[in-house]
Amino acid sequence: MIRSSKAANPNFFWIVTSMASADVRVSLSRKTIRTLYDSMSSIYDVFTRYERGSLKRALEIAEVREDSVVLEAGSGTGRALVELATKVGESGAIYALDISEKMLKKANGLVRRGNVADLVSFILSDAESTPFSDGTFDLVFSSYMLDLIDTPAIPRVLFEFKRILKTSGLLVLLGLSKGSKWYDNMKLHEWVYRRAPFLLGGCRPVLLTPYLQNLGFRDVSREYMRAGHLTPMEIVWARKGE
């Protein structure tokens, strides 16, 4: 798969970012985030058990079909990979992309134990510039990755996802969100994040719907939930559109 040279005007991304909801800026560099998640790879699943319910629901929404070609961007320790690979079957293909080499190694071990290693290819790469051709994937699935991406880069990542999706392709995103009530508006989380992002794994809430709408995705939908009856999460999904 060879990457297309097609690119959008940088001014376009600035407009999309300014039109989207205001998110807390990411203060950690990509190198720092990579190092952080390399160091967390052995304990990550223990500290994120509360995410399992929302991940299960996001996979249900994805409605993965046999023969599908799927990218999981920010695949982490591979919690979704075995289910994705099982659903696409031997006639499909799964690509797992992450910037953390140690996360990918852990995911590789998981798919081997799940007997689906032959269906999964691992790519050590940034999501903003992937090695794939235009219109490659039936599904791009990403959970808790855009929480780590700085605000100006979010539309660039989403535009890249749109580029590599097939015309009828589906994008499914899962991440931290925020509500309107005092107990779920995440203001305390954002206060801590501004001062000590490492304590929160470098993650902050992002409202993704405006980004997808402004980038021309169609049939944009959102489902809001609270993991463990406390932490706000959202699943946002959409078709590629034109």
- Within a domain: 5: no
- Within a domain: 36: yes
Per-residue pLDDT tens over the stretch 156-204: 999 999 999 999 999 999 999 998 888 889 999 999 999 999 999 999 9
CA distances from 40 to 32, 196, 208 (A): 12, 16, 26
Would you say 204 and 193 are in contact if contact means Cβ atoms under 8 Å apart? yes
10 vs 30, residue with greater confidence: 30
Those residues with Cβ within 8 angstroms of residue 67's Cβ, 6 or more apart along the chain or in another chain: 88, 89, 91, 92
Q: Over the range 96-107, which residues count as b (16 or more CB within 10 Å of their CB) and which as e?
A: bbbbbebbbebb
Find the helix or strand (DSSP H, E) in which 194 lies. helix 187-195
Residue 23: predicted pLDDT: 86
Would you say 161 and 140 are in contact if contact means Cβ atoms under 8 Å apart? yes
Would you say 72 and 122 are in contact if contact means Cβ atoms under 8 Å apart? no
- Within a domain: 181: yes
Q: Which of 223, 58, 104 is nearest to 94 (CA)?
A: 104
- Within a domain: 1: no
User: What is the average per-residue pLDDT within 95-121?
Assistant: 97
List Cβ<8 Å contacts ≥24 apart for 16-21.
16/155, 16/211, 16/214, 16/215, 17/151, 17/152, 17/154, 17/155, 19/210, 19/214, 20/151, 20/154, 20/155, 20/207, 20/210, 20/211, 20/214, 21/207, 21/210
Q: Is the dihedral of CA 93, 33, 221, 135 positive or negative?
A: negative
For residues 230 and 45, give the distance between their C-alpha atoms in angstroms, rounded to a whole number: 19
94 vs 49, residue with greater confidence: 94
- Within a domain: 4: no
Label residue 69 exposed, middle or buried (CB < 10 Å: 0-12, 13-18, 19+): middle
Instruction: Indicate the pTM of the whole model.
Output: 0.92
- Within a domain: 56: yes
**Confidence label for 16 from pLDDT (cuts 50, 70 and 90):** low
Residue 227: predicted pLDDT: 76
- Within a domain: 186: yes
Q: Is the pLDDT of residue 17 over 60?
A: no
**% of the chain surpassing 90 pLDDT:** 81
Which residues are registered as beta bridge partners of 169?
A: none
Residue 135: predicted pLDDT: 97
Residue 173: predicted pLDDT: 98
Q: Across the chain, what does the average pLDDT equal?
A: 91
Count how many domains the chain has.
1
- Within a domain: 127: yes
User: What is the average per-residue pLDDT within 54-76?
Assistant: 96
Residue 122: predicted pLDDT: 98
Q: Find the range with the poorest average confidence among 27-36, 75-84, 227-236.
A: 227-236
Label residue 188 exposed, middle or buried (CB < 10 Å: 0-12, 13-18, 19+): exposed
Residue 55: predicted pLDDT: 94
Q: Is the pLDDT of residue 11 over 60?
A: no
* Range of the structural domain that residue 77 is part of: 10-239
CATH number at residue 181: 3.40.50.150
User: What is the average per-residue pLDDT within 119-133?
Assistant: 96
Residue 9: predicted pLDDT: 58
Residue whose entry in the numeric block shows the structure tokens 């500290």:
47
